[in-house]
Structure 1
Amino acid sequence: MGTSTFVVAATSTEVLNVIAAFAGGLFIAGALVCAVVFGMRIRDRELPRPRPEDQPHLPTTGPIREIREIREPDEVPMSEERERLMPYQLHTSGTRRGKDQARKRWLPGSSGSFGSGGIGHT
């Protein structure tokens, strides 16, 4: 009589485990379906995506190329009262094109980038 009760108890535990796993799977599947539905509702409220004709186009003259040139610094005027200059007191002419267009190169033996002065690689 003891053996049959053990088999019935073991079988009922296995059945309960299968039922619990199935219920957990249903819960996870339902949560995923709800997440997809929620995402679709959010996406429906967003602005429509731009059409290809709404995208920017190249100018009729073709692509604009990068221009590299060395610029001369613009001098900051001194205030007569030696007070701080306000933005409206500065002229906005910008910088001028430099006479020497040769790039300044790094010199071997100098301090390296950003003036760190470190030993660097030898």
Structure 2
Amino acid sequence: MDTAQMQLAAASGLMGLVFFVVAMGVLALLAGGFWMNSRIKYREPPRPRPDEQPHLPPGGAVHEIRENRESQEVPLIPKGGRALTPYELTNMDTRPSDSKDRPRWSKGSSGSFGGGGLGAH
């Protein structure tokens, strides 16, 4: 063997040792992660038993109710009066609508700004 081959062999042996040490470090980190995870799981409360699971109400399943809602009218301001501020408007409640027809948008309109429709032409 000449000198160049000896130097390459020595360097590759050192590189193999570095890879081995790095691999052992990665394995130590993984083992530490599993150990920490088991400690955390041990401190958690146990899973609920089947008899502790939620049950249906006595009246059976609750079903969806569809109804149209109308908002309350915004109070009118008398001429020359000051405008109401947002905190004076309070929470505007809704009430059931007398009409059973669903509100529809005008023909050719998407119903929202920038919704991709052609709009009302």
TM over 0.5: yes
1:61-92 C-alpha deviation (Å, 9 max, x unpaired): 321110111234446789xxx987597xx9xx
Find the residue that maps to 1:32 and give its secondary structure.
helix
What is the rounded CA distance, in whole Å, between the counterparts of 1:22 and 1:119 in structure 2?
60
The residue that corresponds to 1:105 in the other structure is 104
The residue that corresponds to 2:118 in the other structure is 121
Change (3 A) 1:25 1:117: closer
The residue that corresponds to 1:50 in the other structure is 48
1:5-25 C-alpha deviation (Å, 9 max, x unpaired): 333322211211111111111
Percent of pairs identical after alignment? 35
What is the rounded CA distance, in whole Å, between the counterparts of 1:44 and 1:37 in structure 2?
11
The total of aligned residue pairs comes to: 113
1:26 aligns with 2:24: yes
TM-aligned CA deviation for residue 98 of structure 1: 2.7
The residue that corresponds to 2:57 in the other structure is 59
What is the rounded CA distance, in whole Å, between the counterparts of 2:114 and 2:47 in structure 1?
52
CA RMSD of aligned residues (A): 3.5
Match for residue 14 of structure 1 among 7, 12, 36: 12
Change (3 A) 1:9 1:75: closer
Per the normalisation by structure 2, the TM-score is 0.66
What is the rounded CA distance, in whole Å, between the counterparts of 1:45 and 1:65 in structure 2?
39
1:81-117 C-alpha deviation (Å, 9 max, x unpaired): x987597xx9xxx65433221111122045x424x38
TM-aligned CA deviation for residue 54 of structure 1: 2.2
1:36 aligns with 2:38: no
What letter matches 2:22 in structure 1?
Answer: G
Q: Which runs of 5+ in 1 are unaligned?
A: none
Per the normalisation by structure 1, the TM-score is 0.65
